[in-house]
Each structure stands twice: as structure tokens, then as C-alpha cells.
Amino acid sequence: MNKIALIVQREYLSRVRKKSFIIMTIIGPLLFATFLILPAWLSQVEDTDEKIIAVLETNEYNEPKPDSLRFFDVIPDKENLKFEYVPATLDALKQILSSSKYYAILYIPYNVINSETVELYSKKQPSLGIELHITKSLEKYIYNLKLRKNNIPLDVLNSVRTDIDLRTIKLEKDGSFQEQNQQDMMRWIGYICGFLVYFFIFFFGAQVMRGVIEEKTSRIIEVIISSVKPFQLMMGKIIGIGMVGLTQFLIWIILTFSIVFILQQALGFHKTTADSSELTPESLFEAKPVQGQSATPDNTADFQGYVEKLREIPFLKVFFGFLFYFIGGFILYGSLFAAIGAAVDSETDTQQFMLPVTIPLILSLFIMISTFTNPEGQLAIIFSIIPLTSPVVMMGRIGFNIPLVQMITSMMVLVLTFLGTTWLAGKIYRTGILMYGKKVSYKELWKWIRYRN
């Protein structure tokens, strides 16, 4: 056992001191934080240049209609977006667009109520916000016109309009319950944890294989096994690299959240713009609030409700579940990767053995995503117990209050399986680590497994 500890120490220290480890430990959180912050930052960044859109409305003869415009001031101006109604022809506006002050031309034909089509000619591709602002404003106005045309009072329609808010609540046997909003959070948490387990098993398992191949091709392995048993060497390498993975993962979590927090404060993401609601289609169709009801949402209550839902998430259960399935899954796949590395002389020879090992791991990622729609379905239950897929699939289910029997069964099967694969990999490792210049087949591997000590 002391020799395994020495090997673990050697593997751990030699890898955390490498420049590649230090660089990836720094770059990783920066990339993660960028992926989290960049979309939100880009969505908030608006072009400060003022844009003027020329609005052209025609009559039944397809001529400009400067008088008695039906759509005058229907589309409201925004801070950096103005609308000017011009009495010119469409062809004339097209010719001068590139040299004029106008950013775009909005053409509203006379039969727009029936055709429900308008045209926007612009110098550059307009943003989604501009498109939504135009279409939703026109949609709402034309909607009201059609109501008046059919003698349907708008206030009557608003009074009978009903919006049903379906609250999905899962009732447990012990009387506890879980609301849909919390389940949505757990889907995201499960997806992130499952993907991280998949990534770290794949990434660091491949490092185990490469490390074995490097030591084997450099013949340093012949010196090492003169003082330790091959099984001790394999276990020390797997545990050492696994600890490197956990160390890097913890550092990534701490640095990523620190960078995200700093960027949020620096970029002011906690502030909201006053007209941000204009970009949501639903806000343009909302009925007016009833008398005595405030039109302003209670942001404080919403935030407190969000915090309460976060408190109900079993983070401790998720953390220990992640830790167990990462370690169990890594030992299982790490032993298989170590066996592959011992059986070949170079990475180019690993392809025939890698496919059967990696297919279950890749499959587990797709199954985990499909289980979000039905975490208690037969597919989710079966593949969260099968040891080759359970490290990833179970992380997708762990936040949904799955039965304790399924959880314990999955863990026990995983433990028994990685003990078995470690034993089998040890027999392959013991023989293959000193094999040179011979192409190994599955038949040859079976012979190595059957060898007696």
C-alpha cells in the first residue's frame, strides 16, 4: 500500500507541476467565464449610433400616402431608433438609401391588413430587437383594427381573456413536494454535472492511457516494475491522475465563479434597462392590469422566491453524488484505458480497442439528455444502473428525488463493476506492459486474462 501511495504522489506532483496543467488551469476558468458572460454581455450591448428608418405607406393605387396615414406613430420611437414618415416613392427611396441619413426603409403596402406583410430595406442586417419592435408593434395595432372592423370591443375581449398558469408539483410519498421551477433548475444542474463527469472521465482517462504508452515506449517501465508490482503501478497511476482531475476541477469552479462575479459587477449585469421588456413578444399582447393592481412586477418578491427555490435544491446530495460517480466512473474507465495503453505500442494502435470503451460513455451523454423529459422512465432507470453509463446518466436524475433503492443499487453495481474491471485490467496490464513489437488482438487479450499467476 505504501508503494501505491508513492506512485500516486509521483503521478500527482509530476503532472500538477507541468506547464500544460498550469496553463489549462488558468485558461479553463477564463473560457468558462467567457462562455457564461459573453452572450449576456452581447445581448445588453446596443449600438449607440442613432438609426432613422424611413416609413413609407401607400394607398390603394400603390402611391405614397402623406395624408391621413393609418399607421402614423404606430411604431414608437426608441432611444436610438427613430421612425420618419416620408411622402416619397419606394423606388426613389431605394436609390438614395445608401447616401441618405436613413438606416432602412419600412414599406407598408395598402393591403397590409389582409396580406400581413411589410418590407424592410436596410443598409445592414437589422438586429433582432429592431425586427421584433417593428413586427410586434404592427401586429398589435392591426389586431385592434380587425377587432373594430368586426365590431368586437377591445375591453370586452380583454375582460374574457384567460391565461392559465399551470404549476407542476411533484408530490412525494413523505408529503414533500417539488415545483416545476425547481425541476427546471435541477435539469440544468444535472446537465452540467453529467457533462463534467463525462468530460473529466474522457479527458483524464485518456491521460492514463497516454502515460502508460509513454512509459512503455521509453522502456522506463522495466525499471519501475523491478521494485513494484504491475497492479500497484496501474492503481497508483489511475488514482494519481484522478486526484489531478479533482484538483483541477475544484480550482476551475472557484476561479470560474470568481471571474463571473467580478465581470458581473464590472459590466453592471445587475442593472436592467427600462425598455428591455419591449423585446419580448408576450409583453406586447398583455392585457391591461385590473384597477388597483400594480403594473410593475414585484422584483423583490420574485428574487426572494428564486432564492427560496435555490435553498430547496439538495446541493449536498448533488456534490457527493458527483464526487462518487466521478471517482467510480474514472476508476472504471481509467482501468480500461490503462489496459489499452499496456496492450499497444503507440496511440495509433489504440483505435480498435478504444471504440468499444468509448461508445457507452458517449451514449450515456445522449441518454442523460433524453432522461430530462422523463427522469423516472424505464430508459432512465436502466441506464442509470448499468455501470458503464450510470456515472453520467445518474447525474442527470440525481436532483429529482429518485428512489433510494435505485440510488444504492446504482452505486453498488458501479463499485462491483470497477472492482471487476480493475482486476481484469490488472491481468492485461501485467502481461502487456512488457510486450513490444507485437500487434495485439482481442483473442490475445483473452489469453492474457486467463493466465494464472
pLDDT band at 416 (very low <50, low <70, confident <90, very high): very high
Mean pLDDT, range 140-159, rounded to an integer:
76
- Is residue 231 packed enough to be buried (19+ CB in 10 Å), middle (13-18) or exposed (0-12)? middle
Phi, psi at residue 82, to the nearest 5°? Answer: -120, 155
> Does residue 83 sit in helix, strand or coil?
strand
178 - beta bridge partners? 170
Q: Which pLDDT value is given to residue 385? A: 92
pLDDT band at 435 (very low <50, low <70, confident <90, very high): confident
Furthest C-alpha separation in the chain: 100
What integer best gives the mean pLDDT of the chain?
76
Residue 241 · residue 333 · CB < 8 Å: no
- Is residue 191 packed enough to be buried (19+ CB in 10 Å), middle (13-18) or exposed (0-12)? middle
Write the pLDDT tens digit of every residue in 75-112: 888 878 888 888 888 888 888 888 888 888 888 888 88
Write the pLDDT tens digit of every residue in 154-172: 677 677 666 666 555 555 5
Residue 168 · residue 158 · CB < 8 Å: no
Share of the chain above pLDDT 90, in %: 4
d(CA 64, CA 57) in angstroms, rounded, equals 6
Q: Residue 84: count other Cβ atoms within 10 Å of its Cβ.
A: 13
d(CA 94, CA 18) in angstroms, rounded, equals 62
Mean pLDDT, range 23-30, rounded to an integer:
84
Which segment, 153-157, 226-230, 366-370, is predicted with the most confidence on average? 366-370
Residue 106 · residue 53 · CB < 8 Å: yes
Residue 58 · residue 85 · CB < 8 Å: no
d(CA 213, CA 208) in angstroms, rounded, equals 9
d(CA 309, CA 426) in angstroms, rounded, equals 47
User: Residue 326: pLDDT above 70?
Assistant: yes
Residue of higher predicted confidence among 125 and 334 = 334
Which segment, 60-64, 220-224, 445-449, is predicted with the most confidence on average? 445-449
User: Residue 320: pLDDT above 80?
Assistant: yes
> Does an H or E element contain 54, and which?
strand 51-57
Q: Which domains does the chain have, with CATH numbers?
A: 51-152 (3.40.190.10), 179-269+313-450 (no CATH)
DSSP letters spanning 329-389: HHHHHHHHHHHHHHH-SSGGGGHHHHHHHHHHHHHHHHHHHHHTT-TTSHHHHHHTTSTTT
Residue of higher predicted confidence among 181 and 373 = 373
HSE-up (13 A, CA, CB side) for residue 399 = 33
Share of the chain above pLDDT 70, in %: 75
User: Residue 441: pLDDT above 80?
Assistant: no
User: Residue 412: pLDDT above 90?
Assistant: yes
